Chain A
């Protein structure tokens, strides 16, 4: 029987590096996806997701079972994404025109690519917290309570944040909706 995330974290806190590897294997895709969608840049996304796991390792000793591990990781990732945005210029360069690999893209339709590009540009133009909330809600399908936890906020605040973000996105994407 495989161990739960919380049991693995307790083992990591006792210095078990193999348990840490299990955690990384379970959550690397998830961490990478959020970081990539937020930064829109491979090297930044790798830096953020690696740093998130290093923080998990460093704080494993103090990890308490009160919250689910995934919620704990959302919080670390959310903080790192927001820190990253604060440090960098908010105008993120568009990598889509470069030689990017789309290993999971099943479509070749130009219109769909154009639409995805427009959606991504619209999301990138949102203020940092709105952008993060949109990614967590519409790409990761997190509940409002989970988003509130990750962003150290309340459910009502997240409702208002996402309402403002949708209003802005509707305006920016009116040609596609």
Chain B
């Protein structure tokens, strides 16, 4: 251990504020280093000078004056119109609430957008599928069949556009 390090820790050593392992190392160092032993003795002497007991007691009526003021303040606060302070949302708990609310809103928005996108895509796929079917099997002659005729229903059934299951 270096003397510079030990000298900085000596006051904490006296106070018992150091871990045991460090205290023991300091003890060993001080027992073999006259300079640090002198510093330790000087700190102890100086500490002896701080035994000052001459502090007057708390002034009379301290609590009463303070409580009177506190009650007055509480009353004033209660009678003030309620103001919503936005910055109070940004302390520890407020920030967490805001983050959770923002997360839910963002999640719902993404879900809604994805749902709309998927439904549009499946409509397009179905249209392509039915037109491809008509081209592939040369059902051109059936496309002009009247609505709800057997040919029309057949094309709808084959292309998957029908709602027979419902």
Of the candidates A37, A46, A163, the one whose C-beta lies within 8 Å of that of B55 is: A37
Question: How long is the Cα–Cα vector from A164 to B50 in the complex, in angstroms?
Answer: 17
Q: Do B9 and A105 have beta carbons less than 8 Å apart?
A: no
Of the candidates B15, B49, B92, the one whose C-beta lies within 8 Å of that of A119 is: B49
Q: A54-B69, A144-B17, A176-B49 are in contact. Are A21 and B63 (CB under 8 A)?
A: yes
Question: Does any Cβ of A come within 8 Å of B91's Cβ?
Answer: yes
Q: A141-B15, A169-B46, A170-B46 are in contact. Are A116 and B52 (CB under 8 A)?
A: yes
Question: Does any Cβ of A come within 8 Å of B124's Cβ?
Answer: no
| Segment with Cβ contacts to A, from B70-78, B100-108, B112-120 | B70-78
> Interface extent on A, as a size class?
35 or more
Query: B residues within 8 A CB of A80?
Result: none
Q: A37-B55, A115-B49, A119-B49 are in contact. Are A28 and B62 (CB under 8 A)?
A: yes
CB distance from B166 to the nearest CB of A (A): 58
Question: How long is the Cα–Cα vector from A46 to B59 in the complex, in angstroms?
Answer: 8
Q: Do A32 and B74 have beta carbons less than 8 Å apart?
A: no
Contact digits for B54-72, partner A, Cβ 8 Å, 1 yes 0 no: 1111110011011101110
Question: How long is the Cα–Cα vector from A141 to B17 in the complex, in angstroms?
Answer: 11
Query: B residues within 8 A CB of A29?
Result: 57-58
Question: Does any Cβ of A come within 8 Å of B28's Cβ?
Answer: no
Q: A50-B66, A163-B7, A176-B49 are in contact. Are A104 and B55 (CB under 8 A)?
A: yes
Of the candidates A15, A103, A119, the one whose C-beta lies within 8 Å of that of B57 is: A103
Chain B's closest residue to A36 (CB) is B55
Q: Do A20 and B58 have beta carbons less than 8 Å apart?
A: no
Question: Does any Cβ of A come within 8 Å of B2's Cβ?
Answer: no
Query: B residues within 8 A CB of A170?
Result: 42, 46
Q: Do B71 and A17 have beta carbons less than 8 Å apart?
A: yes
Of the candidates A15, A42, A50, A177, the one whose C-beta lies within 8 Å of that of B45 is: A177
Q: Do B47 and A163 have beta carbons less than 8 Å apart?
A: no
CB distance from A164 to the nearest CB of B (A): 11
Q: Do A32 and B62 have beta carbons less than 8 Å apart?
A: yes
Question: How long is the Cα–Cα vector from A169 to B73 in the complex, in angstroms?
Answer: 43
Q: Do A139 and B46 have beta carbons less than 8 Å apart?
A: no
Beyond A104-B56, A137-B11, A143-B17, 20 extra complex contacts between A and B, CB < 8 Å = A20-B67, A21-B67, A21-B70, A32-B62, A50-B62, A53-B66, A54-B69, A54-B70, A62-B91, A64-B92, A100-B56, A103-B56, A103-B57, A104-B53, A104-B57, A120-B52, A160-B8, A163-B8, A173-B46, A177-B46
Residues of B at the A interface (CB closer than 8 Å) are: 7-9, 11-12, 15, 17, 42-43, 45-50, 52-59, 62-63, 65-67, 69-71, 73-74, 91-92
